[in-house]
Amino acid sequence: MEHIDEGTIHAWLDEALPPDEGARVEQHVRACADCAAAVAEARGLIAASSRILSALDDVPRDVVPRRVDEVRADTAPSVRPAVRDTPATPVGAAPVRRRRSWWQRPQFAAAAGIAFVAVALSVVWQRSPQRTVSDFAGTRASEPAMAPAAAAPEAASAPVGGAAPNAAPSAALDAVPPRDAAVTRESKETEVSAGAGAAEQARPGGRADGPRAKAAPQNDALADANTRTRRAGDVAGNVATPPAAVPPAPTQESVERTDMVRRAAAPPAAAPTSSATVATKAVAPPPAARALPVVGGATAPVADSAPAKRQLAITPDAITRSEKARVQGERGVQSQSGVVAGGAGAEARASEARRDLSTVEGIVGCYRLDRRGPALDAGVAAVIALLREGQGTFDGDTLRVARLVGVAPSSTTEWRWTLSARGDVSLVRVQGAAYARFPLALRVAAQTGETSVATRVTCPGR
Amino acid sequence: MHDDELERLFKLYHTPLVRYLTRRLGDRDWAEEVAQETFLRALRQDALTSERSWLFAVATNLVRDEARKDDRRRRHLQLLAAEERERVVESEDVTQERAQERAQEQAMARRAIDALAERDRLALLMREEGLDYNEIAEALGLSVGSIGTTLARARRRLAETYEALQADAQRRAGGSHGTH
């Protein structure tokens, strides 16, 4: 009688044989000592394989976060999202259980996800001129093409390795000339002095912006002003704790401008306290998303004054809907009441919105990112500042600088962000030179509640 | 695909898919990224006839597409190296010895799985996530009749490689003891 081959034995043990063949094998094994031994060996191999493979599940993700004083001492530009040092992630909480519990609240996740989409996209669309600048180049024939040229060398010299090739082109694409030299320096120093806590002391007023902001209207122009406020504060902060590079001279004017901006423009919805709140706030369309004349206009680029008067054509609400529709676009959803959804319409609106970009340099905004959901481990909570600075490319999209603020640093993880040609915002994790993109945090959010939650917050001091 | 349908798929298959990918890639975040992309693609499908094999096949192809990019692979190696270093730092809190032991087991398991042919590796990893022979065959484009042989070969190779690495490590440990 012929022995049973090893493959059949495994198939039998895996219950993959048809009943009649299984019966035949069983009968044979009872009678054949060699085959019985082979079956025993196969069982051993199956068990051993499972055991060996289970060792691969223990993949480390986050090292033990360092204490704040260690963070301050650290000058490395990269930081790692800290899992365990945030209130949202109780120490010792079982990741799986946490994931489940989050998953069981899809409506919450969906709302928060929509908030992420709305906030992230609105900020980016308003403020990032990259890529689609050409979309509206025709309508902006009078745009002083040479203006950004001054910015190119600055951006190209951004002190981040390997990034230069794309930095210059993206700066050249930039329809917005640099506001002033100090600001440009500031964005460079962002990279140099990434020690998270260093400037915290230097900017005592920064955090206080948040709570006061709750009643402020969702006015994007005010958001701009607030951003500048913070940035000006940042400049001062850098001066107080000079990094290796030459610090910008803090002029009295800039300080005054800061104060003026603070008085003139109450900060927008900064530092909301819960994601639910955020969802409401972020999705609510701004009452009149009209770009205000630049506050502290002494440094306002003249070229942008005309577009700055135009009405913003896009609201977070519209973005949310168009984003969702775009996701479903391939399935035939074309439009939803009154909103041109997906495709060219949305792109056109995005271009329209970008045209109203007036001023933003440096920090585009700060977001608290809670990566949550079944896809993820215990969740990462981190404050991430999105900067406009280009820094290389990833899958054809310009990688822009994003920095974790005020969390434990590590030597290998950094965040970047991208805006694709289609308008998708992605956070890109950079770890040890490996890139991982998190676009789904945006897309699936509206579909399944599986999401990461980004909450706009007041940028903490650096 | 409707939202609730996607949700069902997600609940059912996300965990095994991420585990499969993590084992395949050695990088949880990357695995999650691929898994998410897989579900996104599922979202665009009208209907899936053999959903589990479809998901695993798409995920596998996404990995394969990525792996074609050599520099991505190189970066991944750098990532692994970095994580390895970090684990050493992390393990100071735990019992040093136990942590080292676990790290060693994992490194050996990684080397053992890497020693398999790609097809064998994928079949084995899919089987470990509960895919039946038909599903594995469908996902990998193989005949059902060949799956048993493929798995037998993969399991034997994996176990034997692992044992050899283990014996090697023990020999070295014994040698270092001898010099003390």
Whole-angstrom distance, CA of residue A163 vs CA of residue A160:
6
Query: B149, A431: Cβ pair inside 8 Å?
Result: no
Inter-chain CB proximity A327 and B43 less than 8 Å: yes
Are residues B63 and B111 both part of a single domain?
A: no
Determine whether the interchain pair A61/B7 forms a contact, defined as Cβ–Cβ distance below 8 Å: no
* Residue among A49, A330, A410 minimizing CB distance to B155: A49
Q: Which of A20-29, A98-107, A339-348, B35-44 is modeled with the greatest confidence?
A: A20-29
Number of domains making up chain B: 2
Q: Are residues B112 and B176 in the same domain?
A: yes
Facing residue for A443 by CB, picked from B35, B40, B108: B40
Is residue B111 located within the same domain as residue B177? yes
Query: What is the residue range of B51's domain?
Result: 1-68
Q: What number is the average pLDDT over the span A313-331?
A: 37
Q: Which of B159, B137, B163, B162 is nearest to B148 (CA)?
A: B137
Which percentage of chain B shows pLDDT scores above 90? 40
CA distance A452 to chain B (A): 12
Give domain status of residue B56, yes or no.
yes
* Cβ-proximal residues to B140 (8 Å cutoff; 6+ apart), any chain: B57, B60, B119, B122, B123, B126
Nearest-CB residue to A57 (from B23, B76, B152) = B23
Q: What is the mean pLDDT of residues B142-170?
A: 93
Decide: B28 and A59 in contact? Cβ < 8 Å: yes
- Per-residue pLDDT of A99-141, as tens digits, reads 333 334 444 455 555 555 555 555 444 444 433 333 333 333 3
Do B51 and B112 fall into the same domain? no
Higher pLDDT, A19 or A212: A19
Distances (CA, A) of B80 to A179, B90, B107: 42, 15, 10
A14, A49, A435, A437: best mutation site toward chain B, by most B Cβ within 10 Å? A49
**B82 to chain A, minimum CA–CA distance in Å?**
6
Residues of B in contact with A11 (CB under 8 A): 133, 147-148, 151
What distance in Å separates residue A124's CA from the closest CA in chain B? 22
Q: Is B91 in contact with B103 (CB distance < 8 Å)?
A: yes
Of residues A304, A274, A285, the one with CA closest to residue A143: A304
- Per the domain annotation, does B112 fall within a domain? yes
Residue from B1, B8, B9, B10 to probe the interface with A (highest A Cβ count within 10 Å) = B10
A431: which chain B residues are within 8 Å (Cβ-Cβ)?
29, 79, 82
Q: Is 0.80 surpassed by the pTM of this model? A: no
Residues of B within 8 A of A46 (CB-CB) are 155
Query: What tokens were used for A293?
Result: 């004349």
Question: How many A×B Cβ pairs under 8 Å?
Answer: 178
- Tell me: do B105 and B168 sit in the same domain: yes
Domain annotation covers residue B80: no
Residue B145 burial (CB count, 10 A)? 12
B106 in any annotated domain: yes
DSSP A298-342: GG--GGGHHHHHSBP---HHHHHHHHHHHHHGGGT--EETTEE-S
- Which of B3, B20, B24 to substitute to test the interface with A, most A CBs within 10 Å? B3
Among B3, B110, B149, the residue with its CB nearest the CB of A56 is B110
CA closest to A436 among chain B residues: B30
- Rank A252-261, A382-391, A438-447, B117-126 by mean pLDDT and report only the highest: B117-126
Let me know: does A373 contact A275? Beta carbons within 8 Å: no
Tokens of A344: 């060219």
DSSP assigned state of A215? G
- Which is more confident, A189 or A396? A396
B64 and B103 belong to one structural domain: no
Structure letter (DSSP) for residue A246: P
Q: Are residues B138 and B178 in the same domain?
A: yes
Q: What are the backbone dihedrals phi and psi of residue A393, each rounded to the nearest 5 degrees, phi first?
A: -130, 160
- Phi, psi (deg, nearest 5) at residue A407: -125, 175
Q: CA quadruple B8, B12, B13, B18: dihedral positive or negative?
A: positive
Q: Does residue B57 sit in the same domain as residue B106?
A: no
For helices B70-90 and B51-68, give the axis angle rounded to 10 degrees: 100
Shared domain check, B32 and B106 = no
The token pair that represents A150 in the structure block: 């001054």
Residues B104 and B64 in one domain: no
**Given pLDDT bands bounded at 50, 70 and 90, which one contains residue A55?**
confident
Least confident residue range of A7-21, A53-67, A156-170: A156-170
Encode pLDDT of B64-118 as tens digits: 877 666 555 556 666 666 665 555 555 455 567 777 788 888 889 999 999 999 9
- Give the neighbor-by-neighbor strand order of the sheet with A413-419: A434-438, A425-431, A413-419, A397-405, A380-394, A363-371, A452-457
CA distances from A328 to A341, A343, A373, A438, B19 (A): 10, 11, 21, 19, 28
Residue B2 above 50 pLDDT? yes
A216 φ, ψ (degrees, to nearest 5): -70, 145
Which chain B residue's Cα is nearest to A55? B106
Smallest CA–CA distance, residue B179 to chain A, in Å, is: 31
Domain end position, chosen among B50, B68, B86: B68
Q: Is residue B36 part of a domain?
A: yes
pLDDT of residue B30: 81
Residue B88 resides in a domain:
no
State yes or no: pLDDT of B18 exceeds 70. yes
Interchain pair B7, A448: CB under 8 A: yes
Q: Which residues of A touch B105 (CB under 8 A)?
A: 55
**Contact check, Cβ <8 Å, B162/A48:** yes
**Tens digit of each residue's pLDDT (9 = 90 or more) over A326-338:** 334 333 322 232 2
Tell me whether residue B111 is in a domain.
Answer: yes
- The whole-number pLDDT of residue B100 equals 77
Choose between B163 and B92: higher pLDDT: B163
- Minimal C-alpha gap between A132 and chain B (Å): 25
Do B149 and B107 share a structural domain? yes
pLDDT, averaged across chain A: 47
User: How close is the nearest chain A Cα to the Cα of B106, in Å?
Assistant: 5
Mean pLDDT along residues A251-276: 36
CB-nearest to A436 from B3, B33, B86 is: B33
Is B78 part of any domain?
no
What are the beta bridge partners of residue A384? A367, A404
Same structural domain, B42 and B115: no
B100 touches A: beta carbon within 8 Å: no
Which of B51, B68, B85 is the last residue in one of the domains? B68
Examine the pLDDT at B158 and tell me if it is beyond 90: yes
Q: Does B39 touch chain A (CB under 8 A)?
A: yes
Query: Can you tell me the distance from the alpha carbon of B129 to that of B135, in angstroms, rounded to the nearest whole number?
Result: 11
First to last CA, chain A: 78
Selected residues 7-26 of chain B with any CB under 8 Å from a CB in chain A: 7, 10-11, 14-15, 18-19, 22-23, 26
Of A374, A376, A448, the CB nearest to B6: A448
Per-residue confidence (pLDDT) for residue A457, from 0 to 100: 58
Nearest by CB to A434, which of B76, B106, B155?
Answer: B76
CB-based contact A375 B27, cutoff 8 Å:
no
Chain A interface includes B82 (CB < 8 A): yes
